[in-house]
Chains A and B, each alone.
Chain A
């Protein structure tokens, strides 16, 4: 069975992707594709369940306590420097010849510690989910899949009538995210998470209504850099389609009605509400994207 979702088709490759999914290393588009594979194959589902169970069990293992005595002993190393210099060796990360490659020579034997092992502060769970996933293409390439990047993206940008560099940049940003190279930087369906995140990063937060009840779920946001400026982008999901909504802040802007910039298999709509200039792009059909735009505009007022 072959798939055209860009994931590896060999069993080992897909298993690695399931591990990456469990580890929170995939962006939304890739995660969606892997989840679809899991849903379709009981063996993959069992593997997924195993990995989740194992990771849970490992993360629940008791962790060594940092005793107060130990902490004090380490802190005293820092203090010591102000009076007597600790034996300075090579910079820690630069290896000196040793029995094994990449190792550094140790200092004189460590002093024995006193055995104070009072339990101290509880540790935060190590299983906090990371939002920043890495370049998925690097991962895919490194596990050797023959990913054929759709050459259509460049072609479309070059050939279409979109002479506006901004629209082209929005389009390629969306296209990149579909190829999962540009991750969703914050994955959240909660606009109260997405808005402050964008605000904290670039000082701008566009309206981010959750339209899940209308069938358009807010799944996250990211920062696009377009024409050298960071602009917020929201990502919505409609069935199996992703919609990227770039919101460029406007200075005393005018209000414009939705304008169709669709081309080359992508639908793109542009409009302004005075505060932001919006660009919505998706591989959905144009009427569906119009429906999204209408609902967004209604909710964002």
Chain B
């Protein structure tokens, strides 16, 4: 493929999804300023690898690069924040041990959740363990399907489901406590 064609493909594949890329990076790194750095790094990688893009879901392809770049960037620039990740398997075990959704039988009223203010919700999302947070963000902010998330994270769909339920359960009880 000619360089010009590659450049055009880059524009078609990457530019339409910058908003999603920034949103994901913002939640994985914790702030919007870092997100732009991360997405820029990710786009450089995407550009270098554009000839390997085989068609298909451009958004999922780009977000996969953004996710990986976010963690690389965090490991380099925010090493202390990354320590919390630990062994990835532990969290799933923890989730299984605690049940996957609500920590107790009854969560807060739906109306309490619905009127939670933006700052409280953002803080609650930021406080989620990384694995739960990324699953929640990919689903509820990026709007990806279970199957897309499962492919991106290379985990079974059941794991996606339990992480998502756990993330939402933690958020709900946090919002219920805050209000």
Contacts and interface: CB of A to CB of B under 8 A. Distances in A.
Interface residues of A, number: 71
A105 B42 CA distance: 11
Interface in B16-69: 18-19, 22-23, 26, 32, 35-41, 43-49, 52, 61, 64-65, 68-69
Contacts of B72: 98, 103-106
A143 B158 contact: yes
A102 interface: yes
Contacts, number: 214
B110 A52 contact: yes
A47 B101 contact: yes
A128 B143 CA distance: 8
A100 B161 CA distance: 23
Contacts of B52: 91-93
Given A104-B68, A113-B36, A139 B143 contact: no
Contacts of A118: none
Given A50-B172, A70-B36, A74-B15, A107 B41 contact: yes
A123 B26 CA distance: 16
B43 to A, nearest CB: 5
A151 interface: no
A47 B102 contact: yes
Contact of A106 (B73, B110, B116, B122): B73
A89 interface: yes
Interface string B153-170: 010111101101100100
Q: Which of A25, A66, A71, A105 has the most CB of B within 10 A?
A: A66
B71 A100 contact: yes
Contacts of A104: 45, 68-69, 72
A99 interface: yes
A134 B146 contact: yes
B10 A103 contact: no
Q: How large is the interface on B (under 10, 10 to 19, 20 to 34, 35 or more residues)?
A: 35 or more
B103 interface: no
Contacts of A55: 140, 168
Contact of A89 (B35, B45, B75): B45
Contact of A61 (B10, B108, B121): B121
A86 B100 contact: no
B49 A92 contact: yes
Contacts of B140: 55, 58-59, 126
A130 interface: yes
A103 B68 contact: yes
A144 B119 CA distance: 38
Contact of A75 (B11, B37, B82, B158): B11
B173 to A, nearest CB: 10
Contact of B65 (A82, A93, A98, A134): A93
Contact of B19 (A20, A66, A100, A113): A66
B146 A88 contact: no
Given A64-B32, A89-B45, A59 B141 contact: yes
A78 B147 CA distance: 30
A49 B101 contact: no
B172 A111 contact: no
A53 B161 contact: no
B14 interface: yes
Contacts of B75: 98-100, 103
A143 B40 contact: no
B157 A77 contact: no
Given A54-B113, A57-B175, 9 more contacts: A23-B139, A46-B110, A64-B19, A71-B18, A86-B48, A93-B52, A103-B75, A104-B45, A142-B158
Interface of A: 12, 15-16, 19-20, 23, 25, 43, 46-47, 49-59, 61-64, 66, 70-71, 73-75, 77-82, 86-89, 91-93, 95, 98-107, 110-113, 123, 126-128, 130, 132, 134, 138-139, 142-144
